[in-house]
C-alpha cells in the first residue's frame, strides 16, 4: 500500500497542521518509520468527512516540532514516539521525557534502528 503524502519541512509543520485544523480536519495519529542515525520519517494523518490527508516529515537528528499545542491529543502519540524511537519533540506538553512506557531517559528505545546510537539529549 502506498500513502500519498505531502512532504513538509520542520519549519512549516505547525503552520500546515494549523491550516488543516482550520479546515475542520481531525487529528488521527502519527506513524514513525526508519528511526536511526540517518533520521526518521514521520507521517501525520488527518481526517475530514472520511477522507484522509497525510503529511510526511523527514528529520535527520533535529528536534521535531510538537503539534500538541494545536491538537492536544497529539501529546500522547508524540510521547510514545519519543519512548519507542528516541526522537525529541520541541514544545511537547506534557513531556514525559521517555518515561511514558520506559524506565527513564537512560532506557534504549526498542524501535530505534541498529545503524546508529541513540541521540543524546
107 part of a folded domain? no
State how far the Cα of 44 lies from the Cα of 17, in Å rounded to an integer: 9
Q: How many domains are contained in the chain?
A: 1
Q: What pTM, to 2 d.p., does this model score? A: 0.83
Tell me the residue range of the domain where 42 lies.
6-90
Length of the chain: 121
Q: What tens digit of pLDDT does each residue of 86-105 get?
A: 889 999 988 877 777 666 66
- Give me the CATH number covering residue 64: 3.30.460.80
96 part of a folded domain? no
Q: What tens digit of pLDDT does each residue of 33-77 get?
A: 875 667 889 999 999 999 999 999 999 876 899 999 999 999 999
Amino acid at each position: 500500500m502506498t500513502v500519498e503524502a505531502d512532504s513538509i519541512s520542520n519549519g512549516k509543520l505547525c503552520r500546515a497542521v494549523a491550516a488543516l485544523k482550520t479546515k475542520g480536519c481531525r487529528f488521527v495519529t502519527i506513524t514513525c518509520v526508519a528511526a536511526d542515525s540517518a533520521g526518521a520519517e514521520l507521517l501525520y494523518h488527518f481526517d475530514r468527512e472520511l477522507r484522509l490527508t497525510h503529511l510526511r516529515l523527514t528529520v535527520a537528528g533535529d528536534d521535531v516540532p510538537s503539534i500538541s499545542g494545536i491538537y492536544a491529543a497529539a501529546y500522547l502519540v508524540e510521547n510514545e514516539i519519543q519512548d519507542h524511537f528516541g526522537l525529541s519533540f520541541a514544545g511537547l506538553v506534557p513531556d514525559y521525557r521517555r518515561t511514558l512506557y520506559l524506565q527513564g531517559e537512560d532506557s534504549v528505545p526498542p524501535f530505534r534502528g541498529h545503524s546508529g546510537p541513540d541521540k543524546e539529549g
